[in-house]
């Protein structure tokens, strides 16, 4: 059976002679997305299953592979389904014995017994835009570096290398970029990896915002409030101040936006060749 334990660096990352705690991971979940309503009612897109597991689980499992075990999940639309998912996850992933006389339950080892996650579920309220949702997580991500991603995007990004890259450049924000047409915004990147411009022209030869970030608390100053769009206003202001650098990723990157995406990813999983399954 495949081990579910994270890397040995689970608690600390060595940086010179100092030990640096691994950052918490903020995840935007429960947004409206573009998945057809009949596929997600009452299930949010982040709980659509690939290989019998929610897409969100796959995302979190990726970070856990690199030792990150504290997650701050931004809830919005259909938050009750996400809350139920995490409340049930402990039991659903283990063998158990139920004593009907008194209702007591004994938990035994099972497929998820080695997953040691701390998950904060934060209601960022339906209607709050992406920047506002991120800012509402500020009290929960601490006062240091934190990661940020979406709940429906799978990749094989080396997160240890990404974190080291971010720390080496000393900027407020690092964004992972990939070569693919996207509506998320194309980036003009200088030879120093500093991002110089964000624009929307479709071009398969440009680097796009892949929605994986490493951030410092200073980014909250670039979010005015609930109706700020992170991908536009905030990133443009960070670019203007020279505070956004790009980490180029040439590997796998795929989001789950349509039933066709689900079928493709399901086929990869069932074939045993899922590129995002980096925890083998």
Q: Residue 43: is the preceding peptide bond cis (ω within 30°)? A: no
Between 199 and 250, name the one with better pLDDT.
Answer: 250
Mean pLDDT of the 52-61 span: 95
Which of 5-9, 115-119, 134-138 has maximum average pLDDT?
A: 134-138
CA distance 219 to 204: 29
Query: With bands split at pLDDT 50, 70 and 90, how would you rate the model's confidence at 135?
Result: very high
On the question of pLDDT at 185 being above 50, the answer is no
What contacts 27, CB < 8 A, 6 or more positions away?
A: 56, 59, 60, 71, 72, 73, 74, 148, 149, 150, 151
pLDDT of residue 41: 62
Q: Specify the higher pLDDT residue, 164 or 208.
A: 164
User: What number is the average pLDDT over the span 239-259?
Assistant: 91
What letter would DSSP give residue 194? B
Residue 105 has pLDDT above 70, yes or no: yes
What does residue 101 show for φ and ψ, rounded to 5 degrees?
Answer: -65, -45
- For 194, the token pair is 């500093």
Of residues 118 and 142, more confidently modeled: 118
For the chain, give the percent of residues with pLDDT over 90: 57
> Residue 19 has what pLDDT?
47
Contact (CB, 8 A) for 54 and 78: no
Q: What is the spatial distance between Cα 226 and Cα 127, in angstroms, rounded to a whole number? A: 8
Distances (CA, A) of 76 to 68, 106, 126, 200, 213: 23, 33, 5, 26, 20
Report the CATH superfamily, name and number, of domain 12-271.
Answer: Spore Coat Polysaccharide Biosynthesis Protein SpsA; Chain A (3.90.550.10)
Query: Predicted confidence band at 4 (pLDDT cuts at 50, 70, 90)?
Result: very low
Distance CA 155, CA 64 (A): 14
Question: DSSP 3-state helix, strand, coil percentages of the chain (rounded to 5)?
Answer: 30, 30, 40
Residues near 118 by beta carbon (within 8 Å), at least 6 away in sequence: 69, 70, 71
Using pLDDT thresholds of 50, 70 and 90, give the confidence band for residue 280: confident
């Amino acid at each position: 059976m495949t081990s579910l334990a994270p890397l040995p660096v689970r608690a600390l990352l060595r940086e010179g002679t100092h030990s640096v705690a691994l950052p918490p991971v903020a995840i935007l979940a429960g947004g409206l997305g573009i998945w057809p309503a009949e596929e997600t009612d009452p299930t949010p897109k982040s709980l659509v299953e690939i290989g019998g597991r929610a897409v969100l689980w796959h995302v979190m499992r990726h970070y856990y592979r690199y030792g990150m075990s504290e997650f701050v999940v931004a809830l919005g639309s259909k938050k009750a389904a996400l809350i139920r998912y995490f409340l049930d996850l402990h039991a659903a992933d283990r063998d158990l014995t139920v004593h009907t006389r008194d209702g007591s339950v004994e938990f035994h080892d099972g497929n998820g017994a080695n997953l040691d996650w701390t998950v904060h579920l934060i209601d960022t309220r339906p209607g709050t835009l992406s920047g506002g949702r991120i800012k509402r997580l500020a009290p929960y991500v601490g006062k240091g570096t934190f990661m940020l991603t979406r709940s429906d995007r799978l990749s094989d990004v080396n997160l240890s290398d990404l974190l080291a890259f971010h720390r080496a450049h000393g900027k407020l924000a690092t964004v992972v970029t990939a070569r693919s047409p996207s509506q998320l915004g194309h980036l003009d990147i200088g030879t120093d990896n500093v991002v110089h411009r964000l624009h929307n022209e479709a071009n398969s030869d440009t680097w796009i915002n892949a929605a994986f970030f490493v951030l410092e608390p200073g980014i909250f100053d670039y979010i005015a409030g609930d109706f700020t769009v992170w991908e536009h206003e905030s990133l443009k202001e960070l670019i203007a101040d020279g505070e956004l650098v790009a980490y180029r990723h040439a590997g796998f990157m795929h989001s789950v936006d349509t039933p066709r995406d689900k079928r493709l990813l399901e086929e990869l999983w069932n074939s045993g060749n899922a590129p995002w399954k980096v925890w083998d």
